[in-house]
């Protein structure tokens, strides 16, 4: 069925989702640029400041199931516009903040707004592209992962020249307006507007749509949750702590020349990280559409463990700091294309936004450990134990994906193979 208007073209809807993701990317990936200036201004501990980051990520992720339910029921347009308003309010509050509690409250408001936008746009990708879930979810998530690469240098320069408060104010207003405009044009697919789900023995897509309550009764969901959390711990920690790590290794202000451009090592790392983080999402999503989600996870998570261990060895060299930090993010970003695709393959399309929202809370659970990383570092004087733990957790996730999730999903597919009734909700699912 051809779209009734250009605005209902699924590729246009995908592009809108990517733009919205770009607009909220700095709330998470640009935060590290503000940590040291805030610390210098108020002399608060890094751990206390990073509670703001943890608050943002926890609220952004843990409320997505509720937000996803509202979006699934009422559509993406008005809800996304509300998200844009909250995103703008968050950074405007930061620009006037003089207490930690103002940062914490502003982070919670921003988390609600970003969670709405994230959940909506990923859900849109899963619904509009059942035939290319990995690629579509990856491209959408790439906006969140790589979006801040466009503005990292302008933000860093504005913080340096105009102060972090002015930077929060200007970028907060701009980002909020962009999301509101995108929300005006977002549409959910109507029956007949999308192709059938891809048929592939590697993907093992479910024959029915699971309600959130049904999904939460299956042990397989919690195994998937554990695997995502294991990988997210290292990635979320690196996102929040990159600037403090660079300062501790005394490479943050060291000039590095790449592609004939000279920038401080930290700024180069942030640009490189965001670009590779974004590229990872469609790249691994595309690969998973072909060889299967679990096989791709095994490759990506195992690679992440090795790269983290190598990063520890070379972090004091500014050039290697830039390169290896980029590879850390490249092998982390793919979870935001692989897990939403895996979840939709396993539990269906109709409630994809809400169902993935529950799985996405694993990122929020991982974020609770970010302030503890600073405490451990202060106690030991080293980042090494933290990185070693992150590497070990990635190994666990790789093994879980290949040797637990894969056979559990195979058994689930076999149990469903006798079900031939359409895309409805009955009969009750078999418990894998």
pLDDT of residue 430: 40
- Highest-scoring range by mean pLDDT, 74-78, 169-173, 239-243: 169-173
Judge whether 374 lies within some domain.
yes
pLDDT of residue 414: 83
**pTM summary value:** 0.75
Q: What CATH code is carried by the domain that includes residue 239?
A: 1.20.1250.20
Judge whether 430 lies within some domain.
no
pLDDT of residue 67: 85
Judge whether 422 lies within some domain.
no
Average the pLDDT over each of 104-113, 193-202, 249-258, 318-327 and give the range with the smallest value. Answer: 193-202
Token couple for 416:
């469903």
pLDDT tens-digit map of 72-111 = 888 899 999 999 999 999 999 999 999 999 999 999 999 9
Average the pLDDT over each of 67-76, 130-139, 338-347, 422-431 and give the range with the smallest value. Answer: 422-431
| Residue 172 confidence (pLDDT) above 80 | yes
Are 319 and 368 in contact, with CB atoms under 8 Å apart? no
Which among 254, 286, 16 is positioned nearest to 131, based on CA atoms?
A: 286
What mean pLDDT do residues 105-125 have?
Answer: 93
Judge whether 270 lies within some domain.
yes
Split into its structural domains, the chain has a count of 1
User: pLDDT band for position 423 (50/70/90)?
Assistant: very low
Q: How many residues are listed for the chain in this entry? A: 432
Judge whether 428 lies within some domain.
no
Are 81 and 176 in contact, with CB atoms under 8 Å apart? no
Please tell me what DSSP assigns to residue 429.
P
Instruction: Quote the domain boundaries for residue 392.
Output: 6-416
More confident residue, 149 or 299: 299
What mean pLDDT do residues 100-126 have?
Answer: 93
How many C-beta neighbours within 10 Å does residue 381 have?
8
| Residue 419 confidence (pLDDT) above 60 | no
What mean pLDDT do residues 39-43 have?
Answer: 93
| Residue 183 confidence (pLDDT) above 70 | yes
User: pLDDT band for position 151 (50/70/90)?
Assistant: confident
Residues 6+ apart with CB under 8 A from 46: 35, 39, 244, 374
Are 160 and 119 in contact, with CB atoms under 8 Å apart? no
Judge whether 282 lies within some domain.
yes
Judge whether 432 lies within some domain.
no
Average the pLDDT over each of 299-308, 349-358, 367-376, 380-389 and give the range with the smallest value. Answer: 367-376
pLDDT of residue 421: 44
pLDDT tens-digit map of 1-38 = 555 677 888 899 999 999 999 999 889 878 888 988 99
Q: DSSP states of 343-403 as a string?
A: HHHHH-STTHHHHHHHHHHHHHHHHTTHHHHHHHHHHHS-SHHHHHHHHHHHHHHHHHIII
d(C-alpha 332, C-alpha 206), whole Å: 26
What mean pLDDT do residues 400-418 have?
Answer: 89
Judge whether 138 lies within some domain.
yes
């Amino acid at each position: 069925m051809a779209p009734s208007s250009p605005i209902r073209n699924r590729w246009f809807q995908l592009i809108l989702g990517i733009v919205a993701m770009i607009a909220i990317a700095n709330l998470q990936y640009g935060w590290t640029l503000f940590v040291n200036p805030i610390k210098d201004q108020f002399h608060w501990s890094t751990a206390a400041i990073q509670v703001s980051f943890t608050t943002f990520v926890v609220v952004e992720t843990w409320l997505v199931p509720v937000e996803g339910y509202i979006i699934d029921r009422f559509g993406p347009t008005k809800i996304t516009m509300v998200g844009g308003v909250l995103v703008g309010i968050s950074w405007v509050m930061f620009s006037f903040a003089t207490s930690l509690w103002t940062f914490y409250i502003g982070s919670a408001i921003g988390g609600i707004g970003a969670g709405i936008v994230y959940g909506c746009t990923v859900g849109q990708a899963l619904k509009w592209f059942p035939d290319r879930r990995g690629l579509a979810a990856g491209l959408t998530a790439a906006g969140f992962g790589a979006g801040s690469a466009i503005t990292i240098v302008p933000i860093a320069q504005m913080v340096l020249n105009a102060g972090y408060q002015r930077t929060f104010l200007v970028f907060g207003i701009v980002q909020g307006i962009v999301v509101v405009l995108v929300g005006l044009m977002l549409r959910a697919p109507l029956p007949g507007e999308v192709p059938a789900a891809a048929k592939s023995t590697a993907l093992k897509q479910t024959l029915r749509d699971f309600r959130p309550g049904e999904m939460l009764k299956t042990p397989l969901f919690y195994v998937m949750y554990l695997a995502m959390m294991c990988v997210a711990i290292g990635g979320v920690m690196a996102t929040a702590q990159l600037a403090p790590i660079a300062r501790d290794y005394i490479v943050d202000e060291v000039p590095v020349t790449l592609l004939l451009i000279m920038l401080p090592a930290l700024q180069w790392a942030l640009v490189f990280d965001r670009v590779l983080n974004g590229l990872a999402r469609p790249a691994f999503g595309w690969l998973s559409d072909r060889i299967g989600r679990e096989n791709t996870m095994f490759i990506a998570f195992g690679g992440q463990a090795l790269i983290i261990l190598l990063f520890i060895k070379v972090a004091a060299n500014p050039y290697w700091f830039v390169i290896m930090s980029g590879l850390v993010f490249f092998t982390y970003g793919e979870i935001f294309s692989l897990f939403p695709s895996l979840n939709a393959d396993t539990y269906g399309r109709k409630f994809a936004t809400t169902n993935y929202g529950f799985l996405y809370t694993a990122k929020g659970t991982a974020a609770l450990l970010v302030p503890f990383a600073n405490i451990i570092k202060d106690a030991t004087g080293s980042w090494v134990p933290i990185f070693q733990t992150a590497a070990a957790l990635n190994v666990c996730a790789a093994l879980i994906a290949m040797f637990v999730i894969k056979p559990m999903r195979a058994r689930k597919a076999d149990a469903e193979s006798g079900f031939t009734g359409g895309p409805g909700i009955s009969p009750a699912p078999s418990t894998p």
